[in-house]
Structure formats: C-alpha cells, structure tokens
Amino acid sequence: MDPGRIDEIVELSVRAWSPVFPKMRKEIDGFVYDSFYPHGWEARQRADVSAICADAATEIWIASVDGVLAGYVGLRGHEADSMGEVQIIAVDPDRQRMGVGAALLDFSFAWMRRNGYAMAMVETGGDQGHSPSRAIYEAVGFRRYPVARYFKNLRGDGEE
C-alpha cells in the first residue's frame, strides 16, 4: 500500500461501516458503547484505521477496480500461534456483494500460507450490525469460536 492512500482508506472505512454502528448502538449497553466511542464511532474508527495503516506489523493490501479503491485488508502474523490474522477488512459500499471481500479473503489465505501459518483468524461483533461480516466469514470457511467478553460499569449505579 502506498502510504499516501491512508486518507482514502479511512474514508472508505467510514462509508463501509456507517450502517453497522447505529444497529450496534441499539443492542449493547449504553455505558459500553459510550466508553468505546466517547467522541462518536466515526472519530474512533478514523483513529483506529489510521493507526492500523501506520503499524509496521500490519501489511495493508488494496483491491482496485478500474484504478479505483474497492476495498482493502490488513494482515498480521502471529508466529507463536502459527496464525495469520485478518486484522481489518473493508469494501466500498458501491462494490459490496460483487466478490471484492471474498477476493480479499482468498488473497489473505494465500498470504498466510506463503508465510507458513497453519490457521487464519478474524474477529467481528456478534451484534446485528455485524451480521453481514459474519456471513461472509462463514461462507469462506471460518468457524465461530465461543468467546465471552464481559463489561462492568464502574461509573454508574451498577444497573447498566
């Protein structure tokens, strides 16, 4: 990835994920959402995507259609676990459901195999907003691993 494209990648990410966060906000406890996104989801996502793109441990690969950014994937290796991680992935909303995401994942698996990893991992939310992500991951062969993540409100009256 050309570092000069980070702003373009950030903007694509915001467009791609804008339908996710309103749905997620309806499903999760207010104090959790507010703790993760005190300045709004968009500000947090812009900062997170920029940081991931600047992180030397993550390789960013882009997909272009007719010279226009259609999507991207950020890949990271975890040698101790013989695991490659899809750390971040997004497809332009105008290119979704056209095979761009599947092509990025196929590329990711080939990258992981070339690097000698035995398994691939990706994480996403369990809420309704992330259901399209879960659908594509399952369609390409990922299996859901049961994980429980708990949060406790330390600033409220304990009811949230």
pTM as predicted: 0.88
User: What proportion of the chain, given as a percentage, has pLDDT over 70?
Assistant: 96
pLDDT of residue 157: 63
Q: Which domains does the chain have, with CATH numbers?
A: 3-139 (3.40.630.30)
Give me the pLDDT at residue 90, please: 96
Q: Which amino acid is present at 59?
A: E
Per-residue pLDDT of the chain (160 residues; tens, 9 = 90+): 787 889 999 999 999 999 988 888 877 767 888 888 999 999 999 999 999 999 999 999 999 999 899 999 999 999 999 999 999 999 999 998 899 999 999 999 999 999 999 999 999 988 888 888 999 999 999 999 988 888 888 887 655 4
**What's the pLDDT tens digit per position in 120-158?**
999 998 888 888 899 999 999 999 998 888 888 888 765
User: How high is the pLDDT of residue 121?
Assistant: 96
pLDDT at residue 129, rounded to an integer:
84
How many Å apart are CA 34 and CA 38, to the nearest integer?
5
Give the pLDDT confidence score for residue 22 in this predicted structure.
Answer: 84
Torsion angle in degrees (nearest 10) through CA of 35, 37, 40, 45: 170
Report the alpha-carbon distance of residue 7 to residue 11 in Å, rounded.
Answer: 6
What is the end-to-end Cα distance of the chain in Å, rounded? 42
